[in-house]
Copies of this chain bind each other. A is one copy, B any other.
Amino acid sequence: MKNKPVCYVPERIIPEVYSGTPTFLGLPKISNKEELENFDIVTMGVPWEGICTWGSYTDCELSTKTIRSASARYGGYMLDYDLDIFDHFTGGDYGDCIVQNGNYDVTFNGIKEKFGEIMDAGKFPIVFGGDHSISNPLIEVFAKKYNGKIGVIHFDAHMDNMPSFGDEKLARCSPFYRVYEQENIDAKNIVHIGVRGPRNHPDALGNAKKFGATVIPGMDIKLNGWKQAIERAIEVASDGTDAIYVTVCSDILDIANNPGGPPDPCGMTSFELAMMLHECGKAKTEAFDYVEIYPLEDKANVSSHTAVWMTLHLLAGVTKRKFNL
C-alpha cells in the first residue's frame, strides 16, 4: 500500500484516529462507510465496560486508546517471516463505535452497526475491546454473513460461558453461552483454548459439554506443546465451516506476559500465543478481536504492545494464506 507503516523513519507522519490517539499502526483514518472500499483490513474499537464481575478489574474501555498508542511504534514488516503485511494488503482505522456507560442496548447496537458496515464491505476486521461481552454481538454479525457456517476459536483463561451473572445475560462472563444459543451457529465448531485455574465456575466444563463445544485446557498446551493444541483447535473450528472467528482475552497469557490483564498465572507466553495465532491466520480466520486489557495497572502499556504483536503475527498468517507465501 502507499505510505505503508515502516518503523525507524523519523519523518513518518502518523495520523490520529481521534485527538491524542494515533490510528492503528499509523494506517489511514477511515472517516465514513464509503471509504471502507479502499482498505482490505479494517480496525475498529469498542471502548466499553459493562458489568464488572470482579471489582478491582475495571477501565478496560481505555484500551482502544492504549493499543493504538503502542502500535505507532511498529511497521507491518515482520522480520520473523521476512514478510511485510502491507506489501500485500491495504489497511485503515475506522475509529470507535458509539457507547453509553451502563447501557448494553445503545452499545451493542453501536457495535453491530459499525461492525456490520465492515462486514458488508467484505473487509477483514480487527476489533479491540472493551470487555469480552462484545464478542457476542460481533459473532452474531459475523455468523449472519456466513449463514452460520462459522467456527470460533476462543483463547482465554476463563470459559466465559456462564448462563448469566446474576440476572444479567450480557455480562462479560457469559458471551459464549449466548453464542452457544445463537440459532444459526453450531456449537460443535467452538473451541475454548487455554482455560485454567480457580477463576472458573464448577459448571464451566459442563456448559461446554452440554452444547458440544470443545475445551483444550491451558495445562494441555503447557504439557504437550502449542503446536498439537492449535492443530486440534483449527480442525474442530474448520470442520464443515466457511470461516473462523478468533477471539482473544488477554488473560490467555500469563500475568507475567500481560501485566495489564487479569492476574492469572500459569498461562501462555507471548511467543506461544503468537505461534498459535499465526496458525489461525494461515487457516481460514476471517475476523479477529482482542479484549480485556486494563491499562491502569500497566503504566508502560506492555499488554497493549503485546496486543499489537499478536495481531501482526495473526495477520502475517493471513497474508501467507491469501497470497500463497
What residues of chain B lie closer than 8 Å to A45, measured between beta carbons? 101
In the complex this chain forms, how many copies of it are found? 6
Query: Is there contact, CB below 8 Å, between B201 and A265?
Result: no
Chain A, interface residues (CB within 8 Å), range: 35 or more
- Asked whether A100 and B106 contact (CB < 8 A) given A265-B270, A266-B270, A266-B309, the answer is no
- Asked whether A162 and B8 contact (CB < 8 A) given A196-B79, A198-B312, the answer is yes
Q: How far is the CA of A165 from the CA of B96 in the complex (A)?
A: 22
Most buried by B among A6, A53, A267: A53
Query: Is there contact, CB below 8 Å, between B297 and A297?
Result: no
Contact among B17, B222, B271 for A102, CB-based, below 8 A: B17
Q: How far is the CA of A312 from the CA of B265 in the complex (A)?
A: 12
Query: Is there contact, CB below 8 Å, between B217 and A79?
Result: yes
Q: How far is the CA of A302 from the CA of B56 in the complex (A)?
A: 13
Most buried by B among A97, A171, A205, A309: A309
Is residue A77 within 8 Å, beta carbon to beta carbon, of the partner chain?
yes
Q: How far is the CA of A45 from the CA of B222 in the complex (A)?
A: 32
Q: How far is the CA of A184 from the CA of B309 in the complex (A)?
A: 38
Contact among B21, B100, B217, B222 for A97, CB-based, below 8 A: B100
Contact among B62, B97, B305 for A265, CB-based, below 8 A: B305
Summarize A's interface: helix, strand, loop or mixed: loop
Is residue A173 within 8 Å, beta carbon to beta carbon, of the partner chain?
yes
Most buried by B among A20, A58, A166, A269: A20
Query: Is there contact, CB below 8 Å, between B263 and A305?
Result: yes
What residues of chain B lie closer than 8 Å to A11, measured between beta carbons? 166
- Asked whether A101 and B106 contact (CB < 8 A) given A79-B205, A82-B205, A173-B8, the answer is no
Taking CB atoms and an 8 Å cut-off, the chain A residues in 182-235 that contact chain B are 195-202, 204-205, 217-219, 222
- Smallest CB gap from A83: residue in B: B202
- Smallest CB gap from A66: residue in B: B59
Taking CB atoms and an 8 Å cut-off, the chain A residues in 50-94 that contact chain B are 50-55, 58-59, 62, 64-65, 70, 73-80, 82, 84
Q: How far is the CA of A83 from the CA of B294 in the complex (A)?
A: 30
Q: Which residues of A approach B to under 8 Å, CB–CB?
A: 6-11, 17-21, 45, 47, 49-55, 58-59, 62, 64-65, 70, 73-80, 82, 84, 95-103, 106, 110, 159, 162, 165-166, 171, 173, 195-202, 204-205, 217-219, 222, 254-257, 259, 263-267, 269-271, 274, 296-297, 299-302, 305-306, 308-309, 312
Across the A-B interface, give the 5 residue pairs with the lowest CB-CB distance, nearest first. Answer: A18-B102, A20-B52, A265-B270, A74-B198, A263-B305
Apart from the given pairs A18-B103, A95-B101, A256-B257, 10 other A-B contacts in the complex at a CB distance below 8 Å: A20-B58, A59-B62, A62-B62, A64-B101, A65-B101, A76-B198, A79-B197, A95-B102, A96-B102, A256-B256
